[in-house]
Every structure is written in structure tokens, then in C-alpha cells.
Amino acid sequence: MTQEEVVSGLKKLLSERVRIPVARAQGLDLHTSLLKEGLGLDSLDCVELTIGIEEEFGLVFDDSEEDWMHHFSCLDTLSQLVLTARGELT
């Protein structure tokens, strides 16, 4: 799976799970902030997105990590997390 495919899936999840308008989600680039200062996601949105990612990409994340929000800074870091968890990025 490529980063572009993961990013496309993440944009779809943002629309479906977090209810970001499709046009806005599709317009995001790799480095647009997903958090409050950018797209405006809060911690509950990130939890909902995490559940969607687990279902969409067949992953299970370790929720014992203390600072997991840094993965949600932008689509680049989030897609890299997915690729790493799938063993497709080292």
C-alpha cells in the first residue's frame, strides 16, 4: 500500500467518521494541521478516527502510548503511522 492510498483512505475516514465536509477533506495536503489550529480535530475526533483507521486498515493500536496525539499532527505523520503499523514503512 502506498502513502497516497493511505492518505486517500484517511480523507475518506475524516469525511465519514469525523464528519468533515468531503470537499474540505479532499483539499487537505500532507502537511495541513489536523488539530485545533488547522482542521480543528480534538481528542474525541482523534479517538473516532483511530477506531476508523483500525477498522479500515486492519490495525490495532497500543493505547498505552502517552503522547499519541503527535501522530495526528498532519496527514503525513498519520499516514506514516499506518504504513509503519502495517509493516510497509521502516
- pLDDT single digits (tens) 7-59: 999 999 999 999 999 999 999 999 999 997 889 999 899 889 999 999 999 99
pLDDT at 65 over 90: no
The Cα 55–Cα 59 span in angstroms is 7
Q: State pTM to two decimals.
A: 0.90
Note the pLDDT of residue 83.
94
Strand partners, 74: 33
Q: Report which residue type is found at 31.
A: H
Residue pair 29/75 in contact by the 8 Å Cβ criterion:
yes
How far, in Å, are 11, 29, 36, 90 from residue 79 at the CA level? Answer: 10, 12, 19, 13
Residue pair 46/40 in contact by the 8 Å Cβ criterion:
no
